[in-house]
Structure 1
Amino acid sequence: MIRVLFMIAAAGFVLSVGTLSAAIAIGGPEAVTRGGWHMFSGGWGERDNHTHGRWDSDDGGPGDWGPDAGPQATRTLAWTGGDSLDLGLAADVRYVQADGPGTVTVTGPQRAVDRVVVRGDSIRYGRGGGHWRPKLSIVVRAPAINRFDVAGYNALAIEGYRQKTLRLDVAGMAKVTASGEVEDLELDISGKGDVDLGALKTRGADVDISGAAEATIAPTEWARLDISGAGDVRLLTNPRSLETDISGAGKVRQGEAARTPSPPSPPQAPSPKSDKL
């Protein structure tokens, strides 16, 4: 049975190589560079949230972009969302809590900026934006956003926060910082993110980490910490109530100390008995 499966797999591989060779022979080498196939050297797409790649222009031809590609532009959109913010593009984002109508100010290459749209609670690209997009700078000013979804290589800075609750869902290698004051914090991190909330005064914090993420918090009353994997939580305070559930190589640090599951103490060796004369 295994031999038959191996023969089928080998035949499929040979067939795929032959098909690709025939396609290149028919189309010619120029087809690879013109548009039949896009070959990237060091390029990354929006899904990876990197900042290098190629842009497919509106006229069908590829356009390179990078630090020196095209003029920079700034555009301001109306914030149409409610209490949540979801990033559907690669960006460094600042959220400033401010009264009045919400705004979203986007800065980056002109072609990318022109394609950004705000749909409900989401900031993303509209249609016709090409497949490969740069990392933008975005400033969101709104009065009452209290839930943020951040993923990939994105970065979020929350400034002047003053609300009862704050919910952060962080995935990938995203980075988050926050300053201000909140009663209850809920933090969920998966991946290898870095969340620094040391400047956010918090009454209580509920933290759930899976992966190798790091978090810094400063709760004054209570903290519930659930770590699975190699996560690291640093406490800048000594909350009155502290509950920890650690599985794996995770750590909880208070100052320079670290709380890890303590190994069982080895049994004491029996004291030698002196011979009686």
Structure 2
Amino acid sequence: MTETRIDRRFAALKREGRAGLVTFVTGGDPDYETSLELLKGLPGAGADVIELGMPFSDPMADGPAIQAASQRALKGGQDMHKTLAMVRAFREDDEDTPIVLMGYYNPIFVFGVDTFLKEAVAAGVDGLIVVDVPPEEDEELCLPAMQAGLNFIRLATPTTDERRLPKVLANTSGFVYYVSIAGITGTGAPDAAKVQAHIGRIKAKTDLPVAVGFGIKTPEQAKALSEGAEAVVVGSALVKTIEENLDENGRAAAGTRDQVLKLVGSLSAALRQPEKAVAI
């Protein structure tokens, strides 16, 4: 594969000597216009890579917050055409920030794999995370995506053992997404020491950057879990902030976008802080 925006962004982070912030929001949540405004505001608030969720009616790996976000988006009429349109609109002003579409295979299958890949590349998508397509099915989506020039990003979990890990890594590119807790998104709190041990195990098998996600809600957690990783991923906390800033009719309030970007800013600031010098 030729160098992608994701490759360039992680190379830049390495030069800066810091971990990056990967932010997740669901396309079309709570409505198309607000979601697009939020998407466009994320880089300025400190997001280094953006994961844009493809809404799906049965997101089995996601917790209540992201499930609710998918339902709000679908209720508002979001579909794959609109999600790709959001990426095209984003690219009118930003040619550098990587965008990864994240979700499930069903909406891609219904859209048509070949058509989806062609339109995703044309829109300016850089990578895919499709959580329910295992390595055994790489010919279905992973290999065609890579041939189209997209990074295909795999998830490794606390239960990915030494036998399974090479299969997970075989056709992965861009970065490895390490799921810091066993279970669904937005539940539980990760143990930093255990996470660092698992990251070390992954790094022994690959030179790819590792991004840590699931359960990260605060700047303090982001900073702690960034040790040994190239990035941290925050999703449920952002989606929950959207939900908490809707009016009584479930519509975006005046400050919805700003409250989400405020949280992104605090997470980014924590990752950009230099380590405190230790007196000897």
Instruction: Report if TM-score (shorter chain) is over 0.5.
Output: no
Which has the higher relative contact order, 1 or 2, with Cα contacts under 8 A spaced 6 or more apart? 2
Q: TM-score, normalised by structure 1?
A: 0.25
Larger Rg: 1
**Structure with greater helix percent:** 2
**Structure with greater strand percent:** 1
Q: TM-score, normalised by structure 2?
A: 0.25
